[in-house]
């Protein structure tokens, strides 16, 4: 059995832990593993690296991905999608493990429809993949946000300011909700709930007059004020999957707050800090469980599946179910965070 593995889309702490787990479990079954470099790009250009237990030794705690990644979409043209199918055959791959978010796994699902045996491992710090309670990388991201909020509290309080903290979360506000709850945010704004700027300003004013005199507002990059179509961004650049580059809502909001309340305001974009560095213990364990289960599925002859966490069990679901819709924030958790607003 010859297994190909690739990591696609935005990187995420825990990718190396998955690669290591796949290689180690594959060795147990005597399967060969080939690493594909830079996501789907490596299958268009045939850029691969042999993987064995020696090669993956020591990579468990490392952030990023030893295979590299890209946001290449082979289905952007029939020419590149054909190349991918042909190169999978040329390389003699019996099965391909794709580790990625909805875009990368969407490609894996399409390839499966075309007769290529694929398995998906769900990855995104945004935690917005359907059918799995958690994706690895999310726990690391919210730990980073929590630490940042702790630090921002002291400086924001000292200056009696309003601090708007922009976090990742394009379609869903998981990082904002969990990070904001853990870090004691005074308000959390998420894509699922368009907000009124006046209401945000009321909270800031009230806290400036009667509270501790400062406010910490966490905003997901995909959050928008009511009545605005699309996103508030600084850039109009799009990636190969057509996603516009986000970033800008934090600055916009900080300016609005200062203008409308007179409270001195600042913004911070946590950006790629949320994706960098070593995964937490939780993410390492989840990544190991996903990687091992992916190879077990191959051994059981189950393809076109995505490994997933449901409750505390690793299960598998059809790939097309995992990518068909976005998993938005659990409003029960958001309501708990709301208790601490204001
Ligand atoms: O992986 C998803 C994500 O974290 C989004 O929240 C964010 O918009 C995007 O990545 C940004 O990634 P990049 O700058 O690598 O395109």
CATH value at residue 157: 3.40.50.460
Rounded-to-integer distance, Cα 27 and Cα 32, Å: 7
Q: Is residue 327 part of a domain?
A: no
Q: What are the residues whose beta carbons fall under 8 Å from the beta carbon of 115, sequence distance 6 or more?
A: none
Q: Which of 217, 246, 275 is the endpoint of a domain?
A: 275
Residue 314: which pLDDT band, with cuts at 50, 70 and 90?
very high
Nearest atom within ligand 1 for CA of residue 243: 8
**Could you tell me which residue, 56 or 236, shows the higher pLDDT?**
56
Q: What are the residues whose beta carbons fall under 8 Å from the beta carbon of 112, sequence distance 6 or more?
A: 118, 303, 304, 319
| CA dihedral of 66, 291, 172, 305, whole degrees rounded to 10 | 120
Name the residue with tokens 């690669």.
Answer: 19
Q: Is the pLDDT of residue 97 over 80?
A: yes
List 100's β-bridge partners, or say none. 122
Cβ(10) to ligand 1 under 6 A? Answer: yes
What distance in angstroms lies between residue 223's CA and the mean position of ligand 1's atoms?
14
Supply the CATH number for residue 101's domain. 3.40.50.450
Phi and psi at residue 20, to the nearest 5°: -60, -45
184 and 208 in a single domain? The answer is yes
Q: Report which of 283, 273, 282 is spatially closest to residue 15, judged by C-alpha positions.
A: 283
Question: Which of the listed residues 126, 135, 144, 231 should we mutate to test ligand 1's pocket, taking the one with most ligand atoms within 8 A of CB?
Answer: 126
pLDDT in tens, 120-152: 999 999 999 999 999 999 999 999 999 999 999
Q: Hey, is 313 helix, strand or coil?
A: strand
Sheet of 187-189: strands edge to edge?
187-189, 215-220, 162-167, 265-269
Cα separation values, 131 from 60, 141, 175, 328, Å: 26, 20, 18, 11
Q: How many CA atoms lie within 13 A of 212 on its CB side?
A: 13
Cβ(68) to ligand 1 under 6 A? Answer: no
What distance in angstroms lies between residue 143's CA and the mean position of ligand 1's atoms?
17
Give the domain range for residue 306. 2-136+279-322
Q: What is the pTM of this model?
A: 0.95
What distance in angstroms lies between residue 165's CA and the mean position of ligand 1's atoms?
16
Quick one: what percent of the chain has pLDDT higher than 90?
Answer: 93
Q: Is residue 338 part of a domain?
A: no
Question: 211 and 161 in contact (C-beta within 8 Å)?
Answer: no
Total number of residues shown for the chain: 342
Residues with catalytic roles:
126
259 and 283 in a single domain? The answer is no
Q: Report which of 168, 212, 160 is spatially closest to residue 191, judged by C-alpha positions.
A: 168
Question: 286 and 60 in contact (C-beta within 8 Å)?
Answer: no
Q: Hey, is 278 helix, strand or coil?
A: coil
Cβ(167) to ligand 1 under 6 A? Answer: no
Question: 186 and 341 in contact (C-beta within 8 Å)?
Answer: yes
What distance in angstroms lies between residue 103's CA and the mean position of ligand 1's atoms?
12
Nearest atom within ligand 1 for CA of residue 168: 6
Cβ(172) to ligand 1 under 6 A? Answer: no
Predicted pLDDT of residue 230: 84
What distance in angstroms lies between residue 124's CA and the mean position of ligand 1's atoms?
9
Rounded-to-integer distance, Cα 48 and Cα 5, Å: 10
Average pLDDT, the chain: 96
84 and 194 in a single domain? The answer is no
> How many structural domains are present in the chain?
2
Predicted pLDDT of residue 202: 97
Cβ(175) to ligand 1 under 6 A? Answer: no
Predicted pLDDT of residue 244: 84
Q: Is the pLDDT of residue 234 over 90?
A: no
Q: Is residue 331 part of a domain?
A: no
Nearest atom within ligand 1 for CA of residue 101: 1
Name the residue with tokens 């009230």.
Answer: 206
Question: Which of the listed residues 14, 170, 242, 249 should we mutate to test ligand 1's pocket, taking the one with most ligand atoms within 8 A of CB?
Answer: 170
């Amino acid at each position: 059995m010859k297994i190909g593995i690739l990591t696609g889309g935005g990187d995420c702490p825990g990718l190396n832990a998955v690669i290591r787990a796949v290689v180690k479990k594959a060795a147990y079954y005597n399967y060969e593993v080939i690493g594909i470099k830079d996501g789907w790009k490596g299958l268009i250009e045939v850029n691969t690296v042999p993987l064995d237990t020696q090669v993956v030794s020591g990579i468990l705690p490392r952030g990023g991905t030893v295979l590299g990644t890209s946001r290449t979409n082979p289905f952007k043209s029939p020419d590149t999608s054909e190349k991918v199918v042909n190169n999978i055959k040329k390389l003699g791959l019996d099965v391909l493990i794709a580790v990625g978010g909805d875009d990368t796994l969407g490609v894996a699902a399409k390839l499966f429809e075309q007769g290529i045996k694929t398995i998906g491992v769900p990855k995104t710090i945004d935690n917005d993949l359907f059918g799995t309670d958690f994706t690895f990388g999310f726990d690391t991201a919210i730990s980073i946000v929590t630490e940042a909020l702790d630090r921002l509290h002291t400086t924001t309080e000292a200056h009696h300011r309003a601090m708007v903290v922009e976090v990742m979360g394009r379609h869903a506000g998981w990082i904002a909700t969990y990070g904001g709850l853990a870090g004691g945010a005074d308000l959390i704004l998420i894509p699922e709930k368009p907000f009124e700027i006046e209401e945000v300003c009321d909270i800031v004013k009230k806290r400036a007059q009667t509270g501790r005199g400062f406010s910490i507002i966490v905003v997901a990059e995909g959050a928008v004020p009511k009545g605005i179509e699309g996103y508030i961004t600084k850039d109009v650049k799009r990636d190969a999957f057509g996603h516009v580059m986000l970033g800008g809502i934090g600055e916009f909001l900080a300016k609005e707050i200062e203008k409308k309340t007179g409270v001195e305001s600042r913004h911070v974009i946590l950006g790629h800090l949320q994706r960098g560095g070593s995964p937490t213990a939780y993410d390492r364990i989840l990544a190991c469980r996903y990687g091992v289960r992916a190879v077990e599925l191959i051994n059981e002859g189950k393809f076109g599946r995505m490994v997933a966490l449901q409750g505390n069990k690793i299960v598998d679901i059809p790939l097309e179910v995992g990518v068909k819709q976005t998993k938005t924030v659990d409003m029960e958790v958001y309501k708990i965070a709301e208790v601490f607003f204001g």
